[in-house]
Amino acid sequence: AQTVTQSQPEMSVQEAETVTLSCTYDTSESDYYLFWYKQPPSRQMILVIRQEAYKQQNATENRFSVNFQKAAKSFSLKISDSQLGDAAMYFCAYRSAQGGSEKLVFGKGTKLTVNP
């Protein structure tokens, strides 16, 4: 079974600075998807960024980028120019690319605080 580990229960960053959230995962599959979700106090999970394992190029979405190291099974999220609205729980998630295995496997999350 696949597992996702987020080793940082909490992180803090100053507004306008850069922060990196760590995620590692364990799988025997070669094709899969990785995601970072943001969960504000409203509880709704919001997709931040996703990466297909077969793509070597790291995904980027505006201020959010990932460092995907397939051999090391590492998938970190970098948030640049942090804003107060970035404060939330962040979850790393894995999904198999095999048909019929549509479920997401989540880590325990990292609570990000942004200080003004």
CA gap 57, 28 in Å, rounded: 21
Neighbours of 37 (CB within 10 A): 21
CB-based contact 111:19 (threshold 8 Å): no
Give which of 19, 34, 42 is closest to 115, Cα–Cα. Answer: 19
**Span interacting with other proteins, options 17-25, 68-76, 77-85, 89-97, rule CB under 8 A:** 89-97
| In the complex, least distance from residue 82 CB atom to other proteins, rounded to whole angstroms | 22
Q: Among 22, 27, 33, 74, which residue interacts with other proteins (rule: CB under 8 A)?
A: 33
Q: Residue 46 has which token pair?
A: 């919001």
- The site string for other proteins over 10-29 (x = CB under 8 A, - otherwise) reads --------------------
- The site string for other proteins over 41-70 (x = CB under 8 A, - otherwise) reads -xxxxxx--x-x------------------
Interface with other proteins, residue 109, by CB under 8 A: yes
Pairing, β 64-69 against β 60-61? antiparallel
Closer CB to other proteins, residue 86 or residue 107? 107
